[in-house]
């Protein structure tokens, strides 16, 4: 993305602010063990606004009735750091790269923040972030209250993340292109897993085959911790051990995907380890698939997400009745939440810079948001029947199935961005035989 893209985002954020100062900080580095660190992953809100991938950076946006100003604080270039960890952009490099009004060294922030807040009445920060930089800002605001000669003080501390994440709801064409790229790689990885899967393999061996595709294709990382769950392990929704053996006659549920330029994909496929669905597996699988296809087909602008969730629960409850797992009238069963035992999670979530994009689901009045063109959401119905659940017919015990795709809302309806990934029974069985 070029700088114009980020400049436009900052301009939109300033437009959505009242007069005041917004401070957005980069993500800190995180220690893995002793003196080793996890691979660095930038704060998505910070990256959204400036596309800068270095730690210990601060973005400050100032808005008055007369002008706006953008200031970026960055770590100074340091030869020792460059030797051990790579060169930083530094002040001069940042001035050349970013369309901001000022660039300063991060070390200057503490000495400047009081003056930057002077005569302002609103401070926009992440209210739930304990960053030392934000604590310094609040301390400076407090000091200004008792300082002579200051006519106006910070009277309101507001949540900047809500403003940013509202902007993040609608993806640009370039953002969608990044998601498409991530999905192209993820599609190859899922197909490789289907082709390589054999009875007796370990779950982690399938994960390794997919990880190779991600890294070999240039994706820097998985978008989240991969789930490779054989047999009854699929009935643990966030199973991440991935250590068990894949057994004859079982299914394997794989929820794994990569990110591209920090934009996520999020895909789940469930397929038979031996390449052929049993009758019981096929019966449940096609119920889940039918629900997914019908829910996806209902997506279009002005449809509300809450309605989509309710619709999906009705369809899943109907499926459970048809399978003989639930008995009774659908609405009464839903009212009693009987279906939740077997279909416990929601139908999907926003997706973008975060695999679970923390964008709002309701408007300012607390009403469910209606879909608009440019929104991207996962659709992932599932049915889960634990091996030890004697309330389920024996033929279904140990079956856990989830099918997940990534859906773009368009002006006229939707586009399934992951439609290239094998999903129908005959497609999966054919892929497994390659």
The token pair at 16 is 């959505």
CA distance 153 to 136: 16
CA distance 134 to 140: 10
- Catalytic residue annotation: 35, 238, 255, 266, 345, 349, 356, 380, 384, 402, 404
Report in angstroms the alpha-carbon separations of 397 from 258, 290, 367. 31, 21, 39
CA distance 359 to 175: 15
Say if residues 248 and 274 touch (Cβ distance below 8 Å). yes
**Which residues, in sequence order, are CB contacts of 341 under 8 Å at separation 6+?**
none
Q: Which residues pair with 23 in a beta bridge?
A: 60
Q: Which residues pair with 224 in a beta bridge?
A: none
Pairing of strands 414-416, 405-409: antiparallel
For residue 319, count other CB atoms closer than 10 A to its CB: 23
CA distance 399 to 233: 9
Q: Which residues pair with 87 in a beta bridge?
A: none
CA distance 176 to 185: 14
Say if residues 84 and 108 touch (Cβ distance below 8 Å). no
CA distance 90 to 81: 12
Residue-wise burial string across 139-157, b where 16 or more C-beta atoms lie within 10 A, e elsewhere: ebbeebeeeeeeeebbeeb
Residues counted in the chain? 434
Which residue has 């669905």 as its token pair? 277
């Amino acid at each position: 993305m070029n700088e114009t893209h980020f400049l436009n985002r900052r301009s939109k954020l300033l437009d959505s602010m009242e007069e005041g100062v917004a401070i957005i900080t980069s993500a800190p580095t995180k220690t893995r063990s002793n003196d080793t660190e996890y691979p660095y992953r930038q704060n998505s809100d910070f990256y959204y606004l400036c596309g800068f991938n270095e730690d210990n950076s601060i973005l400050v946006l100032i808005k008055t009735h007369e002008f706006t100003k953008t200031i970026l604080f960055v770590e100074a270039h340091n030869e020792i750091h460059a030797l051990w960890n790579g060169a930083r952009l530094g002040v001069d490099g940042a001035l050349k790269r970013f369309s901001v009004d000022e660039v300063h060294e991060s070390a200057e922030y503490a000495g400047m923040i009081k003056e930057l807040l002077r005569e302002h009445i609103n401070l926009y920060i992440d209210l739930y972030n304990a960053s030392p930089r934000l604590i310094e800002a609040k301390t400076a605001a407090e000091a200004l209250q008792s300082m002579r000669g200051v006519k106006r003080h910070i009277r309101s501390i507001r949540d900047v993340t809500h403003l940013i994440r509202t902007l993040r709801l609608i993806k640009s064409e370039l953002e969608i292109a990044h998601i498409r790229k991530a999905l192209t790689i993820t599609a190859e990885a899922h197909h490789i897993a289907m082709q390589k899967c054999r009875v007796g393999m370990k779950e982690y061996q399938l994960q390794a085959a997919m990880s190779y595709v991600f890294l070999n294709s240039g994706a820097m990382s998985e978008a989240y911790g991969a789930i490779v769950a054989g047999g009854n392990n699929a009935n643990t929704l966030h199973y991440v051990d991935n250590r068990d053996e894949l057994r004859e006659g079982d299914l394997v549920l794989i929820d794994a995907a990569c990110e591209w330029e920090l934009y996520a994909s999020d895909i789940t496929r469930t397929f038979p380890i031996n390449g052929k669905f049993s009758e019981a597996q096929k019966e449940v699988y096609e119920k889940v698939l039918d629900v997914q296809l019908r829910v996806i087909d209902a997506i279009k602008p002005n449809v509300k997400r809450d309605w989509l969730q309710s619709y999906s629960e009705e369809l899943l409850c109907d499926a459970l009745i048809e399978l003989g797992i639930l008995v009774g009238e659908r609405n009464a069963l839903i009212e009693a939440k009987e279906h939740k035992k077997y279909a416990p999670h929601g139908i999907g979530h926003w997706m973008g810079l975060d695999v679970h994009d923390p964008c709002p689901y309701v408007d300012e009045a607390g009403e469910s948001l209606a879909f608009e063109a440019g929104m991207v959401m996962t659709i992932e119905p599932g049915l889960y029947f634990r091996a030890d659940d004697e309330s389920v017919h024996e033929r279904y015990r140990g079956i856990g199935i989830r099918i997940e795709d990534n859906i773009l809302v368009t002006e006229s309806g939707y586009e399934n961005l992951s439609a290239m990934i094998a999903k129908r029974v005959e497609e999966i069985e054919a892929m497994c035989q390659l």
